[in-house]
Every structure is written in C-alpha cells, then in structure tokens.
Structure 1
Amino acid sequence: MTPSYRAVLRTPHAGRTFAAALLGRLSYGMVPLALMLAVRDATGSYPAAGTALALFGLTSVLLSPARAALVDRFGPRRALPPLAAVYAGLLALTAGAAWRPGAPPLLIGVLVVAAGACTPPLGPVMRTLWRSLVPDQALLRRAYSLDTVAEELLFVGGPLLLGLLLAAAGRVGPAAGVAVGAGLVLAGAFALAYSPAARELTGTAAVRGERSDGRPTGAPGGALRRAVLASAATGLALGALDLMVAAFAEQHGRADAVAWVLAALSVGSAVGGLAFGALRWSAPHAARLPVLAAGLGVALACAGLAPNLPVLAVAVSCAGLFVSPAVTTAYLLADEAAAPEARTRAGAWVNTAFNAGSAGGTATVGLLVGRVPLALCFVLGAAPVLLAALFPVLPAVCARCRARCCRRCCARGSRVSSAFVGPAETMTLVQAETATLVGWSRAESRIPTPGGLSNLDRMKSLLGFISFVLVGGGISGLLSDRLWGLHVFGFVRHLVPDDHRTVGYVVLVVMGAALAVGSDRIGRSRRSAGTEG
C-alpha cells in the first residue's frame, strides 16, 4: 500500500519540525514586498525601493550556498540561531530606519545588503532534516513534494498576510510588516534549530573536507549539475512567464486578469506536486527529471498560441502541473547525489539556481517583449527548459549513433570480405579493420600540427571564436539602443534582415550558444581520447 501524506506528518518529530520551518519561511514570502513598500515610503523614490530590493535579493540568493556550508559544518543547532538573530536584528533596524520619511537611502541600502547576506537557509535545512526523519524513499519523495507545495503556497500567502496586516493596523506603515517578518523568522529558526530532529545533525567540522570516496566535500558531480541546471532552467522559464502573462493580458485589454492567470499556475503546480508525491514511480530521479522538464517546456511553448485569456489560464495551469514535480525531483536528485555532510549545500545550490534563473528570465524577456511577437517570446521562454531536458540525453544518443555506425561499417565490410574468404576469416578481418579504424581516428585526433596543436584543438578554438563573435554581436545588437549606438562586432548586422533585426540577433545568440556547447564537447572528447591513448 502506498504511504499517505498523513504517514509523513505522523512520523516522530516530523510535524513539529515542519511547522517550525513553515513559520520561519512565511517571512520569506512577506518581507520582500514589505521591504519595498517601506523603502518607497521612507525615501519617496521607486528607484531607491527597487534598488534596495534587488540588493537584498542578490545577497540572499548568491550567498545561500555559503550559509548552507556553515550549517553542514557546524550543524543546525550551532549555525541557525546566530544567523537568525543577526538577520532579524538587521531587519528590525531597517524597519526602524524606514519608519519615518526622510531616511538616508545609503543607510537603508547597507542594512538590507547585510540582512540579505545573513538570511538563514531554512528551506535547505528542512530538506536535509527530511532525510533523517523519513529514510524510506517513498515517504521521502512524498515529504519533498509536500515541502515544495507548502513553500510555494507560503510565497503566495505572504503578500496576502501583509495586506491583511496593513489593513488591520490602520496608520501603521509597511515597516511594521518588515518587523513582523523579522519576528516570524526568529521564532521559526529557533524552533527548528532546537527541535529533536535537528539534535542529531551535529555538523562535520571534524571532517576535513573529504568524502569517503576521496572527493572533496560538496564537490558537484554530474547528477548534482543536472539538478542545478534543470532548476535554473525552470526558474528562468517561470520568471519569463510572469512578464509574458502581463504582456498578454495588456494586449487583450485585461490587465486586471494577470493575478487570475498566475493563480491558475499556482493551482496547477500544487495539484501536480501533490499528485507526484502520491503516485508510485519506478523510474529513477535522473530519468524522471528530463521528462518533467520537457513537459513543462512544451506546455509553456503551446501557451503562447492561446487566442484569449481563459485559454491561456488553462494552458498555464497545465504547465503548472510540471513545476512542483520538476523542482521536487531536482531536490531529490541533489540530495541523492550529495555526500551526507554536504546535503544542505546541495539543496541550497538547487534553490539558488532556481531563484537566479527566475530573476534572469524576467530581465531577459523584458528586453524582448514589444520587440518580437509574443508567441515567439513564449517559445524562447520555454527553450531553456527544453534544452535542460535534452542535455542528459545527448551523450546517450551520440553513443547510440556511434554504435549504429560501427555496426553498419562492420556489416558492409563483412559483405565485401565474404566474397573472397569464409565466414570465420571475414569476422577476423572485420574486427581487425574496425580496431584499426578506431585506433587511426584516435591517433589522428592527437596528431600535432606544425603549430603544436592537434586538429581537435584547432577546431575547438575556431568554434569558440565564432561562438564569441555571434553571442557578442547578437547581445550588442539587442542592446545597441541602450549603449548610445555602440555595437561590438558591428559587421554581424549584415547577417540579419533589416525588418526583423531583433529576432535575427536572438537567433545569432542562440547559434553562438550552440556552438559554445559543441566546442565544449570537442574539448571533452579531446581529453577522453588523450586518456584512452
């Protein structure tokens, strides 16, 4: 019988630990909006508020793996309380500075940067604790699904709670929301750190950066890189989707419908996440992740063909069915790939990749909306997820193609040789010829040219240079209006049609990125050939 979500919460200490983590993480859905509104009221400037929020988000996201490393090293009980106390104190100081109008923007900027740098990693810590609370794999998948869906709902409910607080408090400004967020994270972090489940994680300060297999602690392996890549691509697509939905609604004269379409995305994600945890899966995490990413990419690309807002809401909700399962699988794959003393860090890398991708997707699509057709924007927004889905499959496809070519060559050689010799001699000849061809191709790839470089090295350098020119020229062409007409590699403008310059520059950037991937593949094959030789 498949275990239920009730079985997850009935696990000893699971309910108490999960409730403490949710209490603290509710602050993360509430503080950013409260901080932006408080800085705007204090400085009277939207640019200052946006800059403060961007600095807060950047320091919080980019330094998340470093803070998670502290938890891995010293344990939640020793690392979380100091981080939470400093973070809450800095938020309280920010709220005090922004309580009255006329606060110095520089002071607020310093405070929010310091606060973002000390944000306690409650999400990664909770996912690490799930591993010790529910060692059964079926229960662990269900616990991760529940955690992902609950976290998403907290980010939806945080702004609603702030709105209720401001409506009920009357004259109290949004700085009160910052103070309440500081109290929530302080209470949640201390309750989580001193829960019975966290007592068992004492940290790995005695482990001098070595795994049992000799690799450095937390060194990213192939599975972890795939999880981080898929998480970044998912965040990139969702960050782009927010802006594309707003543009679609404005194009159809219904700007007020944006919230309903994004609510459909959240509902679809919650349903998909809960269903994903409830079903029994036989495929491993590494095999499921590309399938979920491909489903998300196809759904997002098709959403751009919607004729009206109701159809777009249905298409977006269908895309949401893949969001929570994809993110949950990325976390499970990272947890499975990481060493026990680096699991918090691995989860933090997945989380960082998602948040950074979301910010990058919004910024990138902001340059394209209004310049290219909206349907093409949806396709471009889905492209990173589709590429992330294909990335793990490419090596296997290439290996299968090479094996098929070898079999065809062997069959062709056997037909030619059988006209003159018997079957046994034919097999011997074919094997010898195949071995000779393989050895010759490997040796030929390592033959140094007069310049001291092999043929593969020269091809890699050429592809890298072409990739640099295409990407540089394409990005420069897209931003030339903002760079006072400065256009690096200006000759590439002759490669794009005059009436579709923006689309042409985007195509050049994509082609350059594809050549960069090809160049990297050639470099890897060069190293593997040298090793086998």
Structure 2
Amino acid sequence: MSAVSPRPSYAAVLRIPHARRTFAAALTARLSYGVVPIAVMLCVTRATGSYAVAGVVLAVFGATVVFLSPYRAALVDRYGPRRVLLPMALLYAVLLCTLTVAGRHPGASGLLLGVIAAVTGACAPPLGPTMRTVWRELAEDRLLLQRAYSLDGVAEELLFVTGPLLVGVLVGFTAPAVGVVLGAMLMGVGTPAFVMSPAVGAMRGSGGVRKGRRASLRPGRELLPPIVVAGGVGLSLSAVDLLVVAFAGQRRLGDDTVAWVLAALSAGSAVGGLLNGAVDWRTPARVRLPFLAAGLGVTLGVAGLAPGVVTLTGAAACAGLFVAPALTTAYLIADEAAPAGFRTQAGAWVNTSVNAGSSAGAATMGLLVERLPLGVCFLVAGGVSVGAAVIAGI
C-alpha cells in the first residue's frame, strides 16, 4: 500500500539550506567518473595501438576504483570529508594528467600506463557515498531523505550518459587525452567546492577507533540484502548492454539501434526513480527491495521474447522503471542499518557491489551469448535479479 504525499517535494529537497550548492559541486566532480573511462580507453588505444592493452588498463583502473572504495570510505568516516577527499582528488587529478603525459606518443609502455591507471583508481574519492551521507545529515525527515536519494540516483544515472557524450564531442575535433584532462579538471574543481560547502564542513570524522569499535565496517546480515540486490542489478544491467548489441547484430541493425534501446532503459530508470521518490511508501523498504529486484528480473526475461527492436525498446523502458528504485531502496536500507560513523562505508559497500556485479555480468554474458540462444541469455540475465530478490527476501 502506498499514497502519494504532496510534501515534501523534490523542490523541497533543493530548498534545504546549502543543498543546491553542495549537490551541484558533487555532481560536477562525479561527472569525472562518466568522462574518464571512455577517455582513458581511447587515449591508451591511440598510444599503444592495441585494444587488448587498452582493455587491460581500463580493467585495472576499474578494479582499484571499485574494490578499494569501502576502504577509502572508511577514511572519510574516520577523519571527515575535508581531510580525506581533498588529497584524494588532488592525487587523482595529477595522476590522470600523468597518464596523458605517459601516453602522449605512440608506442607508450602498456605496463607503465597500467600501473599509473591502477594507482589513479586507488585514489578515486568516494563522492557518491559521501554525498549520500551528506543527504542523511541534511534531510532529517524520512520522506525528504527518500526524495533526496531518488534525486541523487537519477542525477548519477544521467552523469554516466552525459560523460561519454562529452568525450564523443571532444574526440571529434581534438585528441582523446583532452578528455582525460577534462576528467581531471572536473574532479579538481568540483571536489574542493563540495568539501568547502558548510553542509560538508559540519561533518566531523569519528577520530579513529573509539571504545573498542573498529574503524572499518564489515558487512553483516543487516547489510546483506541491499548488497546482494545491488550486485544482482549491476550484473543484470551489464549483461543487457551486451545482449542488446547481440540482438542488433543478429538482425543486422545499426549501432544507433543499440543507443536507442539503452537510452530507453536509462529513461525508464530516471522515470522510475522520480516516481519512487514521490511516493510515501507504507511498506517498509526491506519488504519492497525484493519485489523491485524481482520486477527487474521478470521484465528482462520477457524482453528476450521481443520479436523486433520496437518491442525490445519498450521492454527495456519497462525494465528501467525498476532499476533506480531498487538501487535507491538498497542505499536507504544500508543507511538505516549502518551504525553512526559508518554510513559512508555502508553506501560504499552497496556501490561496490553494483560495480562488481557490472564487471562480472559483462564477462559472464560475453561467454554465454556465443553458446546459448539470445532469448535464453535474457532469461539468465533476468534470473540473476530474481535470484538476488529471493536471497534478499529470506
């Protein structure tokens, strides 16, 4: 059961003192994560002449970004955003510029580029988890926090659509290295503006281990449902990206077809996220989460029956309706379950699970799509989310 609540609205979220300034600065810095991956891949490909080397470099960059995220978030919880995010952002920006210098000439060492990329990823500031912690401090009302998380999730989705488009425009008239430098500039400008906001300045770290408490959060039973669902959603979505490419290839459709289908998925996610945030849910988040994951899985399974691209586009839009709500709900549950002083880490664990699932999904589906019928592959992709829903509901 649910009822639409006229208050608070999304406008009310942005009217919170310091919210617009803080959110805009965070989004500026987070846009770097939408720009850098594709720019780095193009830059390394041009420098080494090898797609394989570029793929490895991007993989090690992504691995250190993803799997070290909870530990970087632990530093934020322990010492506070200002003392941690500023040096991280500076190192990240400097290392990105170093990467462009190392790859400025053809024949650059792939090993050197890989090492620089790995260290760069290790320094990536956990801006998304930190921003959600800031929302938790700004929006004390439960409904206001739900809307804030939904707004944040939709905005983040749009950043990962906008980033590659910006790089595509840039490489049309300049070198890919300029895209990498743009990513460094976005981080170098956005992060200081973010941490200098009064809303962030009011946050203080825990000061390390106190009264026998550990400084880092180990996910327990309370965090298991959101982490499992986030991983399942990430895996399913990355698998669908590859399946749409295979669908277009089997029917000899153009690359623009793939873009339209994936755009429909993103649009559906944005709509679903905004609708989810606008509803005053009577059902607890822990009850809603498995249903949202199951809805995504069932819709993806049905998408495998699509006879043509129009039907597949519609199915993708319907599947997208569940994506942002599922992830937003997972973040809300993680926030509620985390002890005081550990909320940034809790959000980082969910974020890590999404990204890890995304990496695993692309790799796994790449093997399956050449061995199984496409419809079966869609069922497998959807089945992962349904399986995650079952585990979360236990």
**TM-score under structure 2 length normalisation:** 0.96
SS, match of residue 92 in structure 2: helix
Looking at structure 1, the residues matched to 101 and 291 of structure 2 have their Cα atoms a distance apart, in angstroms, of 49
Tell me, yes or no, if structure 1 residue 139 matches structure 2 residue 144: yes
The residue number in structure 2 matching 1:197 is 199
Contact 2:89–2:124 (8 Å) recurs in 1: yes
Code of the residue aligned with 2:119 in structure 1: it is A
Looking at structure 1, the residues matched to 218 and 52 of structure 2 have their Cα atoms a distance apart, in angstroms, of 39
Offset of residue 29 of structure 1: 0.4
The residue number in structure 1 matching 2:3 is none
Code of the residue aligned with 1:31 in structure 2: it is V
The residue number in structure 2 matching 1:120 is 125
Q: Identify which of 66, 73, 91 aligns with 1:68.
A: 73
**Aligned pair in 2 of structure 1 residues 74, 231: CA closer, same or farther (>3 Å)?**
same
**Aligned pair in 2 of structure 1 residues 286, 210: CA closer, same or farther (>3 Å)?**
farther
Looking at structure 2, the residues matched to 32 and 370 of structure 1 have their Cα atoms a distance apart, in angstroms, of 26
The residue number in structure 2 matching 1:225 is 224
Code of the residue aligned with 2:375 in structure 1: it is A
Offset of residue 243 of structure 1: 0.7
Contact 2:226–2:392 (8 Å) recurs in 1: no
- CA deviations on 1:474-528 (whole Å, 9 max, x unpaired) are xxxxxxxxxxxxxxxxxxxxxxxxxxxxxxxxxxxxxxxxxxxxxxxxxxxxxxx
Contact 2:31–2:159 (8 Å) recurs in 1: yes
Larger Rg: 1
- CA deviations on 1:302-334 (whole Å, 9 max, x unpaired) are 000111111011011100000000000000000
Looking at structure 2, the residues matched to 85 and 380 of structure 1 have their Cα atoms a distance apart, in angstroms, of 42
Contact 1:223–1:286 (8 Å) recurs in 2: no
Looking at structure 2, the residues matched to 363 and 351 of structure 1 have their Cα atoms a distance apart, in angstroms, of 19
Tell me, yes or no, if structure 1 residue 246 matches structure 2 residue 245: yes
Contact 1:209–1:217 (8 Å) recurs in 2: no
Code of the residue aligned with 2:179 in structure 1: it is G
Offset of residue 222 of structure 1: 2.0
The residue number in structure 2 matching 1:45 is 50
Looking at structure 2, the residues matched to 30 and 326 of structure 1 have their Cα atoms a distance apart, in angstroms, of 25
- CA deviations on 1:417-440 (whole Å, 9 max, x unpaired) are xxxxxxxxxxxxxxxxxxxxxxxx
Contact 1:210–1:216 (8 Å) recurs in 2: no
**Aligned pair in 2 of structure 1 residues 207, 200: CA closer, same or farther (>3 Å)?**
farther
- CA deviations on 1:40-80 (whole Å, 9 max, x unpaired) are 11111111111111110011101001100110100001000
The residue number in structure 1 matching 2:15 is 10
The residue number in structure 2 matching 1:346 is 346
Offset of residue 100 of structure 1: 2.3
SS, match of residue 57 in structure 1: helix
Looking at structure 1, the residues matched to 217 and 111 of structure 2 have their Cα atoms a distance apart, in angstroms, of 37
Contact 2:228–2:391 (8 Å) recurs in 1: no
**Aligned pair in 2 of structure 1 residues 225, 161: CA closer, same or farther (>3 Å)?**
same
**Aligned pair in 2 of structure 1 residues 380, 217: CA closer, same or farther (>3 Å)?**
same
The residue number in structure 2 matching 1:278 is 278
Looking at structure 1, the residues matched to 284 and 60 of structure 2 have their Cα atoms a distance apart, in angstroms, of 38
Looking at structure 1, the residues matched to 141 and 77 of structure 2 have their Cα atoms a distance apart, in angstroms, of 22
Offset of residue 207 of structure 1: 4.0
Offset of residue 204 of structure 1: 0.7
Looking at structure 2, the residues matched to 62 and 122 of structure 1 have their Cα atoms a distance apart, in angstroms, of 15
Looking at structure 2, the residues matched to 34 and 210 of structure 1 have their Cα atoms a distance apart, in angstroms, of 45
SS, match of residue 280 in structure 1: strand
Contact 2:244–2:261 (8 Å) recurs in 1: yes
SS, match of residue 321 in structure 1: helix
Looking at structure 2, the residues matched to 278 and 159 of structure 1 have their Cα atoms a distance apart, in angstroms, of 29
Identity %: 57
Contact 1:80–1:189 (8 Å) recurs in 2: yes
Contact 2:224–2:392 (8 Å) recurs in 1: no
Tell me, yes or no, if structure 1 residue 328 matches structure 2 residue 328: yes
Code of the residue aligned with 2:112 in structure 1: it is L
**Structure 2 residue runs without a partner (length 5+):** 1-5
**Structure 1 residue runs without a partner (length 5+):** 395-533
Contact 2:228–2:392 (8 Å) recurs in 1: no
Q: Which moved more, 1:185-194 or 1:24-33?
A: 185-194
Looking at structure 2, the residues matched to 252 and 185 of structure 1 have their Cα atoms a distance apart, in angstroms, of 41
**Aligned pair in 2 of structure 1 residues 146, 243: CA closer, same or farther (>3 Å)?**
same
Looking at structure 1, the residues matched to 249 and 218 of structure 2 have their Cα atoms a distance apart, in angstroms, of 46
Residues 149-160 of structure 1 aligned to structure 2 (within 5 Å): 149-160=154-165
The residue number in structure 2 matching 1:301 is 301
Structure with higher RCO (Cα < 8 A, 6+ apart): 2
Offset of residue 202 of structure 1: 1.1
Contact 2:209–2:215 (8 Å) recurs in 1: no
Code of the residue aligned with 2:16 in structure 1: it is T
SS, match of residue 208 in structure 1: coil
Measured on the aligned residues, the alpha-carbon RMSD in Å equals 1.3
Offset of residue 19 of structure 1: 0.3
Code of the residue aligned with 2:263 in structure 1: it is A
Q: Which moved more, 1:55-64 or 1:252-261?
A: 252-261
Contact 2:134–2:199 (8 Å) recurs in 1: yes
Offset of residue 116 of structure 1: 0.6
The residue number in structure 1 matching 2:371 is 371
**Aligned pair in 2 of structure 1 residues 216, 79: CA closer, same or farther (>3 Å)?**
closer
Code of the residue aligned with 2:242 in structure 1: it is L
SS, match of residue 219 in structure 2: coil
- CA deviations on 1:430-467 (whole Å, 9 max, x unpaired) are xxxxxxxxxxxxxxxxxxxxxxxxxxxxxxxxxxxxxx
Code of the residue aligned with 2:273 in structure 1: it is G
- Give the 4+ runs in structure 1 shifted more than 6 A: none
Tell me, yes or no, if structure 1 residue 103 matches structure 2 residue 102: no
- CA deviations on 1:379-428 (whole Å, 9 max, x unpaired) are 1111121111112434xxxxxxxxxxxxxxxxxxxxxxxxxxxxxxxxxx
Tell me, yes or no, if structure 1 residue 234 matches structure 2 residue 233: yes
The residue number in structure 2 matching 1:288 is 288
Contact 2:71–2:216 (8 Å) recurs in 1: no
- CA deviations on 1:4-53 (whole Å, 9 max, x unpaired) are 11100010010000001000011100000000000111111111111111
Query: How many equivalent pairs are there?
Result: 388
SS, match of residue 322 in structure 1: helix
The residue number in structure 2 matching 1:529 is none
Looking at structure 1, the residues matched to 177 and 216 of structure 2 have their Cα atoms a distance apart, in angstroms, of 41
Looking at structure 1, the residues matched to 358 and 352 of structure 2 have their Cα atoms a distance apart, in angstroms, of 10
Offset of residue 164 of structure 1: 2.0
Contact 2:298–2:383 (8 Å) recurs in 1: no
Looking at structure 1, the residues matched to 211 and 243 of structure 2 have their Cα atoms a distance apart, in angstroms, of 44
